[in-house]
Structure 1
Amino acid sequence: MLERVRHDDVTLIEARTGAVACAFTERTGGVSAPPYASLNLGSHVGDDPAAVRENRRRVLAALGAEDLLDRLLVPNQVHGDHVAIVRSADVAALGAARSELADGADAVVCLAPDVPVLLCYADCVPVVIACLRGFAVVHSGWRGTLARIGASAARVLARETGCDPAGFAAFIGPHILADEYEVSEELIADFTAAFGAGVCAGPRLLDLSFAIRAALREAGVPDASVLDPQLSTVRSNDRFFSFRAEHGVCGRHAAVAVMRG
């Protein structure tokens, strides 16, 4: 289950599956000034780097992992389909992981205890997949969704951990919802060809979460194991950052996960 929990001034929508703790952040409780107010977790939007680091520290503290700030992994997201894998928490492995993530990745599969992973969003779809031996955090914009990046991450997680995807828990975080996401006729046609007519919520209205659930199903994750509370970044712009609602100038909320050893 996902539960909305306030930790001092930081509000998380969080879940725990075995040793894996994961959460989707809201936009309040941080130190960033407008237009990034206040819990901006993105380092690429023009915010003060010191404010971003403090905001990330606050999120980890709320998740009970403040002691792991120096191990935090945050990829350079490029709207691609690369899935990075983190297998160890030793210094050399983390250094190699940071180098790979700097080159670009939109999903991270982590098998290492005590290594938090954080990805940023402002309308794109956050996905966290958890099992007994690891987790994946996925950034699924329209390009990644069309490329089935969620399914790719689920398959990598299954291969690396030996766990059956039928036992996975998947969480879809706040994003732009189907009745808010108007796209081109060409893009609707591409998604309909890939996922069926159900991905179209109306004339030129695209349902990204429908496509993500379909891709996860193809990877062996049961529909009943995918939880999507349908939280809107556009309608709830007071709680979440929204690229569309804020006309392209805004901070980023996050999906974050860690497996404690």
Structure 2
Amino acid sequence: MTECVKTHDSATLDLPYPRLAEGRFSSCAVLTDDALNADFGVRICFTQRTGGESEPPYDSLNLGDHVQDDPECVGLNRRKLFCAFGMREDAVIVPKQVHGDAIVACKNRSDYAHAVLRAQNGADGVIVSCDEVGAMLCFADCVPVIVVSPRRTFAVVHAGWRGVMARIAQSAVKRVCEMDGIGPSCLNVYIGPHIHACHFEVGEDLARRFSDEFGSHVLVDDCHVSLSAALRSGLISVGVDERRIADAGVCTVCDGGKRYFSYRASGGRCGRHAAFAVRCGNGKEGL
């Protein structure tokens, strides 16, 4: 496995260092990395809850179809998001998330139907290495993670505490590297809005498991765990460059329902925001 990507003239093809900033596409407000899209034609985003059609408590851009929201509204919301990025609904893989560690890969456009079928059988990660196929996973406190390779393969991962403990993000990193023949230090990793340690209270036994697995620095005290610190520790342990990890720095509970959904803050009845990624055809033009 090579440590960086080389072109025919031996120049290193480096991704821009990751940076998340707010942007708006049609009615959809998101966190995105415009430089990544401009230079490599990969659009990543973490959606916010505004700009959709759903009524309270799912207002308004709810993208989850499993939360008792009106299915017609969810469909309209998804079409709004996909259209904002020039995508058809039948070209986006949206798995049935099961808080596991299964990852589905779509290597070619012809693999799409099979990848969708496998994803609907249960998966918490999607890897795409072809043009014009998107991946979307939904969240309301769990950690959204997007991994991008300079060869333009990307992974979108759902990491609840079980997924963090199962090291699903690290598994996605390893698979992307294997598929693209590169080293993990070349990758960009984006961590989206999620519940932070200030509100993620767990039992002492689980806190101890996190400490044993990732180090005592992931604990704020005996019962509050930083999922982002655990993720960051795990990613660095498999060779990801810490400078290439961008964290949105937003706690979904502290947000108070303004921009993001929070399962814990809402008492369990709310919509879902999403992590979404797609790449366009030529690798330079943005969507």
Amino acid at match of 1:258: V
**Pick from 82, 88, 102: which aligns with 1:60?**
82
Amino acid at match of 1:191: F
Give the alignment's TM-score, normalised by structure 2.
0.87
The whole-number CA distance in structure 2 between the counterparts of 1:128 and 1:58 is 21
The whole-number CA distance in structure 2 between the counterparts of 1:7 and 1:98 is 26
Amino acid at match of 1:108: V
Query: Secondary structure of the equivalent of 1:100?
Result: helix
Give the alignment's TM-score, normalised by structure 1.
0.96
Q: Does 2:101 correspond to 1:81?
A: yes
Count how many residue pairs are aligned between Structure 1 and Structure 2: 257
Query: Secondary structure of the equivalent of 2:67?
Result: coil
* Structure whose CA Rg is larger: 2
Match of 1:147 in 2: 166
Match of 1:127 in 2: 145
| Gapped regions of structure 2 (runs ≥ 5) | 1-18, 282-287
In the TM superposition, residue 83 of structure 1 has moved relative to its aligned partner by 1.3
Query: Secondary structure of the equivalent of 1:183?
Result: coil
Question: After TM superposition, what 4+ stretches of structure 1 lie above 6 angstroms from structure 2?
Answer: none
Matches within 5 A, 1:210-229: 210-229=229-248
Matches within 5 A, 1:186-197: 186-197=205-216
Amino acid at match of 1:57: R
Q: Does 2:60 correspond to 1:38?
A: yes
Match of 1:249 in 2: 269
The whole-number CA distance in structure 2 between the counterparts of 1:201 and 1:167 is 31
**Pick from 152, 159, 166: which aligns with 2:185?**
166
The whole-number CA distance in structure 2 between the counterparts of 1:61 and 1:103 is 26
The whole-number CA distance in structure 1 between the counterparts of 2:43 and 2:182 is 18
Match of 1:201 in 2: 220
| Gapped regions of structure 1 (runs ≥ 5) | none
The whole-number CA distance in structure 2 between the counterparts of 1:229 and 1:99 is 31
Match of 2:4 in 1: none
Amino acid at match of 1:78: V
Query: Secondary structure of the equivalent of 2:182?
Result: coil
Amino acid at match of 2:243: A
The whole-number CA distance in structure 2 between the counterparts of 1:215 and 1:232 is 20
Match of 2:194 in 1: 175
Query: Secondary structure of the equivalent of 2:263?
Result: coil
Q: CA RMSD in A?
A: 1.1
Query: Secondary structure of the equivalent of 1:137?
Result: strand
Match of 2:92 in 1: 72
Query: Deviation per CA, 1:128-153, whole angstroms, max 9, x where unpaired?
Result: 01112310001000000001110000
Over the matched positions of the two proteins, sequence identity in percent amounts to 41
The whole-number CA distance in structure 2 between the counterparts of 1:174 and 1:139 is 12
In the TM superposition, residue 251 of structure 1 has moved relative to its aligned partner by 0.4
Amino acid at match of 2:115: A
Query: Deviation per CA, 1:109-146, whole angstroms, max 9, x where unpaired?
Result: 11111001000000000000111231000100000000
The whole-number CA distance in structure 2 between the counterparts of 1:38 and 1:255 is 16
